[in-house]
Structure 1
Amino acid sequence: MPNKKERPPVPERLPAPVVDAHTHLDACGAGTAAEVTEMVDRAEAAGVTRVVTVADDLDAARWAAEASTWDSRVFAAVAIHPTRTKDFGAAEQSEVERLARAERVVAVGETGLDYYWDYSPHDAQQEAFRWHIDLAKRVGKPLMIHDRDAHEDVLRILDEEGAPDEVVFHCFSGDAGIARRCIAAGYVLSFAGTVTFRNARELQEAAKLVPSEQFLVETDAPFLTPHPYRGRPNEPYCTAYTVRYLAELREQETEEIASAACLNAERVFRLPSVTTS
């Protein structure tokens, strides 16, 4: 019987490099530069050559921005998570904006709406979301969206505010209908380990129809470890499991999925391209 506290095995290296478009290295247990390097070394062994580590509060935003300077394979995204927007005032906004302008911060996120938890009132979440949309446009960086049980309001607010040039739906959780609306709007859908879950039929149908230029892959580590390791600790290297699952689901070659996701990440986050695999 596998130990649920043990990490899944590092899989065989992918045939083409890929980017983990959304992870939380600090929550995975990486606090120091040496620990960050150790974690991305494991990722690179599986073909996951770069990661975007994402903040959900101010302390995490400061850490992510700093950690992105410790290793050339690490980039950052900063914002205040919707569940933490109850007391999101001018001081917090000023600090998030300062961090968002850092060179290795490649996105404003994760921001959006979360109606599953009740930590922050919906009106506070929506006000903060509108502010983050404006910030993304002002700093000229992609908007990385957290959308949990709030599809209609997220899409409505994006329409009302005017979306930035690049919008990423992190850990996309909608069905085929929501996916079609996002695709038509030009948004990018990022798929995490949830797409591999046996009970995720609607999400799997959505993943089948996304054009090759509009999807990313991610872990959202330390959460959402792909099947068959669901419930065990997640890390960026587990992106490789999701890539292989998507290839099977979409009836494409693994290299094709990895290459498309990598090119999309480079375009969306303006990352330097890599030629090694």
Structure 2
Amino acid sequence: GRRDPRPRTVWLGHPEKRDQRYPRNVINNQKYNFFTFLPGVLFNQFKYFFNLYFLLLACSQFVVEMRLGALYTYWVPLGFVLAVTVIREAAEEIRCYMRDKEVNSQIYSKLTARGRLCGSSTAGACCLVNQRVPADMIFLRTSEKNGSCFLRTDQLDGETDWKLRLPVTCTQRLPTASDLLQIRSYVYAEEPNIDIHNFVGTFTREDSDPSVNESLSIENTLWASTVIASGTVVGVVLYTGRELRSVMNTSNPRSKFLFCALIFTTLCPLTWKRNFCPLDTKG
């Protein structure tokens, strides 16, 4: 089951020292599954008062004493709008499924003691080259001579500009990327939350004399769904799956109000005609 978000300590090169389990690093933007699709669509439409009102009004026409006209004048518009709604929701679900499948099937290089291996990044150090960041990470090292990189963040915060990110100072000074797994170090990070503009954490290296403690901020982060603009970047994974900043900031879109205008304009003239009684001109 799900647990309350907690701060965590992530050791470089020592996955066995993880103090808690990571959620699966998959993205799922679908609102329904195969079994909940039709009930879910109907519930999201009829939970609104006016939609439920017109459904009850259409059902009431099966009672002869309450009938105001032919049944098809009620059920044809209702069935048409329901069909449009179901088709629209199905198309959106298929589009989300295909997009999620493409993102979840991407392969990244994972840095190990023996070198780089291809595989999905659920934990550990991940190596990125002009790729979309697969998880929320701390920026450890870059191949760029200026010691920094730029991120495109349009799919995270909607802004089209580029954000500057800086690696952890003591890891950027290491001769090679493989040295990251030869030192005794760890990252302490705050609990997962929705704030994409702030981060609190520390990087600690214990095998140096004296030990190194470096504060981490938003400038040291690589959030999932951003894109590396240049160079080769190595980062350590902090948050995955439902704990990603981008996932925690995503809310299910509200179902659209489709029934009222169409059914109201269909039923009202009929009701008015049935209840209108012209004056008796003969007195």
- TM-score bin, normalised by smaller chain: under 0.3
As a proportion of its length, which structure holds more helix? Answer: 1
Bigger RCO (CA 8 Å, 6+ sep): 2
Task: Tell me the TM-score normalized by structure 1.
Answer: 0.25
Task: Tell me the TM-score normalized by structure 2.
Answer: 0.25
